[in-house]
Amino acid sequence: MTQASLDTSGTRPAVRLERHLPDPPAVVWQAITDRAQLKAWFPCDVIVEGDRWAVGASISFPFPPEVVDMTLTGTVLAVDEPALLSYTWGEDEVLTFELFPDGEGTRLVLTDQLRGSWAARNAAGWDDCLDRLAGLPAQPDAWRRRFAAYSAAFEPEIGPQEGPPADRLSRADRPNPGGA
């Protein structure tokens, strides 16, 4: 796990996570934009209008029904292949992926601008997702441990943290930023 950090310098708080990946940015770009590759690590399906990442394109994010009956929508905000991808995720979040060459690999930086009360749950979920992107094995009860640690770290600065809804607590260890 790489520790997520909290950024409160903008108009809304954001969690920021980094991972070093052994592949070059062009390969990592495919992992964050190709629908089939996203299914291996992202918490839901990602369907981009016209199958093309372009500024203004609509995106839908249907979650697996066994996780939660929900589909979020979004809009592509920025595309600079293979360095930057940014889009809205639902009504309250902006996800930004930055890819930096790092030796023969890539330093991936994920920033999730969100409601302050979601910071700990999303940081814990993105930690799990990025671990899967990096090819690390799933850790039992990882989400709960991470959520507790992030809640303790973030609450003094931005207030109480929301976990998953009570009817989804048994699914809390699934890799999912929303804790669904």
pLDDT in tens, 57-93: 999 999 998 888 899 999 999 999 999 999 999 999 9
Q: What confidence score (pLDDT) does residue 66 get?
A: 86
Q: What confidence score (pLDDT) does residue 131 get?
A: 94
Q: What confidence score (pLDDT) does residue 172 get?
A: 41
Q: What percent of the chain lies above the pLDDT cut of 70?
A: 90
Q: What percent of the chain lies above the pLDDT cut of 90?
A: 82
Report d(CA 115, CA 35) in Å as an integer.
Answer: 27
Q: What confidence score (pLDDT) does residue 95 get?
A: 98
Mean pLDDT of the chain: 91
40 DSSP assignment: T
Q: What confidence score (pLDDT) does residue 171 get?
A: 44
Answer whether residue 175 shows pLDDT above 50.
Answer: no
Q: Can you list the domains of the chain with their CATH numbers?
A: 13-171 (3.30.530.20)
Q: What angle (nearest 5°) sits at the alpha carbon of residue 95, between those of residues 127 and 50?
A: 120
To the nearest 10°, report the CA torsion of 163, 110, 113, 83.
Answer: -160
pLDDT in tens, 127-156: 999 999 999 988 888 999 999 999 999 999
Rounded mean pLDDT, 37-48: 96
Answer whether residue 170 shows pLDDT above 50.
Answer: no
Given pLDDT bands bounded at 50, 70 and 90, which one contains residue 166?
low
Q: What confidence score (pLDDT) does residue 179 get?
A: 47
Instruction: Report H helices in 34-77.
Output: 35-38
CA dihedral over 39, 110, 123, 87, signed as positive or negative: negative
Q: Please give the model's pTM, rounded to 2 decimal places.
A: 0.90
